[in-house]
Amino acid sequence: MTGSATDEKEIGRNAAWSAHVLTLFPEMFPGPVGQSLAGRGLKDGVWNLQVTQIRDHAVGKHQNVDDSPFGGGAGMVMRPDVLGSAIDQAKAVSGEDKRLIYFSPRGRVLDQKMVRELSEEPGVILVCGRFEGVDQRVLDARNVEEVSLGDFILSGGEVAALALLDAVVRLLPGVTGNVESLEDESFETGLLEYPHYTRPAVWEDREVPEVLLSGHHEKIKDWRKRQSMELTKQRRADLWESWSAENLK
């Protein structure tokens, strides 16, 4: 089944990188990723976005997309037949080569490594859950990858989808003007980023570290690296452990 003309939103076709979102709330897209650099990239066709209303695949007289859980318990579960049909249609429209992701607190936590991987692939199909989640059989049958935004519970996968799109799209060639700024960021090097300072040089009696005013590029680079290392060591023992094992042999 294909979506209705109103719910099947398609923006920026023929672009290189494509995202196809399956949701019960299509009006939430493109939302924030329709603004600023990502929004310009969408308009310019650097990436494209297709949004499918899952309800268009509903079954029966009452157009149900969810039902009560077998075995009892609170809440409702999204039906496998409805979601299976929406996924199959998305694959047919967007291509079998796209990674298929369901947002779930049980999934692998999204990180910059995965974001970069996704930006180098042709695109993604993103399934946004609601209620208590989705019937396990559709995840198994369609080989769906589960991805989490972090150890907390959202009301639905839409905010997670927007976060993933924002993070991936800014890495696409032609979206962010200054490519150098992307390479230097937290997580890209395996370390957290060093602190930034701008004008005025003195603010509320607080001065900018002297080395940054020296114009000595090597010394600045060295200071920033040491700051990154110190911050990572203090704040993220997990990152520090893997970075130091790799770099301080």
Ligand X SMILES: C[S@@+](CC[C@H](N)C(=O)[O-])C[C@H]1O[C@@H](n2cnc3c(N)ncnc32)[C@H](O)[C@@H]1O
Q: Which helix (H) or strand (E) holds 105?
A: strand 99-109
In the complex, least distance from residue 69 CB atom to ligand X, rounded to whole angstroms: 10
Among candidate residues 139, 65, 71, 155, the one with its CA nearest the CA of residue 105? 155
Task: Select 155 or 178, whichever has its Cβ closest to ligand X.
Answer: 155
In the complex, least distance from residue 157 CB atom to ligand X, rounded to whole angstroms: 3
Task: Select 130 or 170, whichever has its Cβ closest to ligand X.
Answer: 130
The answer to whether the beta carbons of residues 144 and 101 sit under 8 Å apart is yes
Among candidate residues 129, 123, 127, the one with its CA nearest the CA of residue 169? 123
Q: Which residue is nearest to ligand X (CB)?
A: 129
Residues that bind ligand X (CB under 6 A): 103-106, 128-130, 132-133, 148-150, 152-157, 160
In the complex, least distance from residue 55 CB atom to ligand X, rounded to whole angstroms: 16
Residue 161 amino acid letter: A
Give the CB-side neighbour count of residue 74, counting CA atoms within 13 A: 0
In the complex, least distance from residue 146 CB atom to ligand X, rounded to whole angstroms: 8
Task: Select 73 or 215, whichever has its Cβ closest to ligand X.
Answer: 73
Q: For tokens 């990572």, what's the residue? A: 232
162 DSSP β-pair partners: none
Q: What is the largest CA-CA distance in the chain?
A: 73
Dihedral sign computed on CA atoms, order 27, 30, 33, 39: negative
Task: Select 15 or 161, whichever has its Cβ closest to ligand X.
Answer: 161
In the complex, least distance from residue 195 CB atom to ligand X, rounded to whole angstroms: 29
Task: Select 12 or 80, whichever has its Cβ closest to ligand X.
Answer: 80
